[in-house]
Amino acid sequence: MDTLALKLILTPALIGIASLAGRRWGPAVSGWLVGLPFTSGPIAFFLALSHGRSFAAAVAAGTLIGTVSQAAFCLAYAWVALRRPWPLALLAGSLSFTALTALLDLLALPLPVDFALVIAALLITLRLIPRLPHAPTSASTLPPWDIPARILVATGFVLLLTGVAPSLGPRLTGLLAPFPLYASVLTVFAHHLEGAPAAINVLRGLLYGLFAFSAFFLILAALLDRTSIALAFIAALAAALILQAGSLWLVRRGTTA
């Protein structure tokens, strides 16, 4: 019940805030914002309380390496979006995420190797993602149903995915948790209403935000079996916030440029 309430309250709040941030500071900032583990972090917390620290640590490790699948989603969506409408770009991104998830489910690597692989994937993806000029958002072009529709779609995705994930076990649950639910909603609406450059800027912002995301789950996976739940989450959150502050500077600099 607590987890359901979290989904119903936190998901609409996050999408609303990120959408408003996108209108105020641009699509890249909204993508950066949803890179934080607003949902996957609390889900790991509730799993630690209900299933134990070892179970939650395994979920955190799966979520960490699942960041590679997020990078694949961003890269595939961005390149297809250059020439195709959003449904085909979303399909390409989702298929890429699924393919990488299936591959990663077969691998069992040490945690430091997982983290190194994630960082390498993020850096390579940032290098390969298309660079297009940022088109300023005009508020008059956005219909009144824009943000409510984003909230509705995102909340439905979260309820569906998290409803079936716990039956899959900690590893696959962790691998599926990083599916970019919020980012895909923001990207699709930006693509539909403002064009491919805005969608790609959302994805680039997300990629910068994923450095903090990966640090959060690295520390969580490493500490949950060694210390209390509270200390593990406090340490992971502190590291994520520090990195997120630094990545915001990069996002704003890239948007300005």
Rg of the Cα trace of the chain? 17
CB 198 within 8 A of CB 234: no
- Tell me if 109 is assigned to some domain: yes
Tally of structural domains, the chain: 1
CB 77 within 8 A of CB 89: yes
- Tell me if 229 is assigned to some domain: yes
What does the alpha-carbon distance between residue 199 and residue 196 come to, in Å, rounded to a whole number? 5
Q: Would you write out the chain's pLDDT as a tens digit for each of its 257 residues?
A: 456 666 677 667 777 776 677 667 666 666 667 667 766 777 788 788 878 889 889 999 999 999 999 999 999 999 999 999 999 999 999 999 999 999 999 888 899 999 999 999 999 999 999 987 655 544 445 567 767 877 787 777 777 766 776 777 888 888 887 888 778 888 888 888 888 888 998 898 889 889 989 999 999 999 998 899 999 999 998 888 888 777 666 655 555 44
- Tell me if 147 is assigned to some domain: no
> Nearest-CA neighbor of 150 among 181, 201, 179, 185?
185
What does the alpha-carbon distance between residue 94 and residue 122 come to, in Å, rounded to a whole number? 17
CB 66 within 8 A of CB 101: yes
- Tell me if 171 is assigned to some domain: yes
If 0-12 CB within 10 Å is exposed, 13-18 middle and 19+ buried, where does residue 143 land? exposed
- Tell me if 20 is assigned to some domain: yes
Retrieve residue 207's tokens.
Answer: 């990629």
- Tell me if 250 is assigned to some domain: yes
- Tell me if 143 is assigned to some domain: no
Domain that holds residue 17: 2-133+154-256
- Tell me if 249 is assigned to some domain: yes
Both ends of the chain: CA-CA distance in Å?
Answer: 46
pTM value is 0.80
